[in-house]
Structure 1
Amino acid sequence: MLIREATAADWPAIWPFFHEIVAAGETFTYATDLPEEAGRDMWLLPAPNRTVVAVDDAGAVLGTAKMNTNQMGNGSHIASASYMVDPARSGRGVGRALCEYTVEWARAAGFRGIQFNAVVETNEHAVRLYRSLGFEVVGTVPGAFRHPGKGYVGLHVMHLAL
């Protein structure tokens, strides 16, 4: 697996699984009917922020991550990131590789920590992965996420000190 900078040419490979994940409404706070153009504009970030893709030996996109400052101004020393792995490619370590990559990017860029603002508490795979990499739940906003099958569930704020 290779992780490289995403380009506009990668979007047609990202969009199908991006759309599937967002439309399911189980893990992201995006509108479930998010139009493709809006999704592209939200995901493919300009520098100094960054978007990457994980690709296999044949060049197929397995997953993607976007990395950015969590806040502007006096909060810009904390990074944030979001991840999407093609559900057809889950269980192969793609999410872990992307997360490890973003931690190293944030360290190299001089960030003092990484904060995830809205990790759905029922997204057990993501919570377990982030904890295994040293992230801690620093708070949970009760009922802040309307899950399509589980009703109102909490959103974790997770942090990793760098």
Structure 2
Amino acid sequence: MEIREATPADWPRIYPFFAAITDAGTTYAYPPDHSLESARSWWMEAPPGLTVVAESDGQLLGSAKMGPNRPGRGSHIATASFMVDPAHQGRGVGKALGTYAVEWARAAGFVGMQFNAVVETNVVAVRLWQQLGFTIMTTIPEAFDHRVHGLVGLHVMYQKF
């Protein structure tokens, strides 16, 4: 598996799993009425951010985006988001993308990384981020309208570098 910077030509290859994941309504709060073009700016980061893809034998397995959590006086803390194509889950893609994002943020000089909204019912992601050194700082109750479970909490997770 190779992780590389995403190019504009990758977006049409990312979008099918982006749409499947967001439309499932279990992990991301993006609006459901999106299209290939309207969703592009939600995922394809501009500098100083970065969007990457995980690829194997020409097939995209997943993607991540990373950059400053906030502009200006909050720009010393990084953030990131991750999506693994459902057809390729359970193969270590999320861990590889998470490790890449943490290493990228450290090398870029950020002092820590914050995940603003990890759905508490996404136990696979929560466990992975904890394994990679993140701590649940707080949980905002009923902050996410989960398609299956209704209103559930969102964890704010953090790792100091």
Question: With structure 2 as the length reference, what TM-score do the two structures score?
Answer: 0.98
Q: Kindly indicate whether residue 40 of structure 2 is the aligned counterpart of residue 73 of structure 1.
A: no
| CA distance in structure 1 between the partners assigned to 2:66 and 2:119 by the alignment | 19
1:108 maps to 2:113: no
Question: What is the identity, as a one-letter code, of the residue corresponding to 1:126?
Answer: A
- Residues 113 and 158, structure 2, Cα contact 8 Å, conserved in 1: yes
Matches of 2:130 and 2:39 in 1, distance apart? 28
Equivalent AA in structure 2 for residue 50 of structure 1: L
Matched, 1:88 2:91: no
CA positional deviation for 1:33: 2.4
Mean CA deviation greater in 25-34 or 137-146: 25-34
User: Aligned residues, how many?
Assistant: 161
* Unmatched segments (≥5 aa) in structure 2: none
The SS at the match of 2:79 is strand
**Mapping of 1:8-157 within 5 angstroms?**
8-56=8-56, 58-157=57-156
- The Cα RMSD (Å) is 0.7
How many Å separate the matches in 1 of 2:97 and 2:81?
9
> Retained in 1: the 8 A contact 2:12–2:36?
no
**How many angstroms does 1:84 deviate by?**
0.4
CA distance in structure 2 between the partners assigned to 1:67 and 1:55 by the alignment: 17
Partners of 2:64 and 2:32 in 1: CA distance: 19
Identity %: 58
- Partner SS, residue 143 of structure 1: strand
CA-to-aligned-CA distance 1:9-30 (integer Å, 9 cap, x gap): 1112111110000101100011
Unaligned runs of 5+ in 1: none
Letter aligned with residue 108 of structure 2: A
Tell me how far 1:38 sits from its aligned partner.
2.0
Which structure 1 residue ranges, 4+ long, deviate > 3 Å from structure 2? none
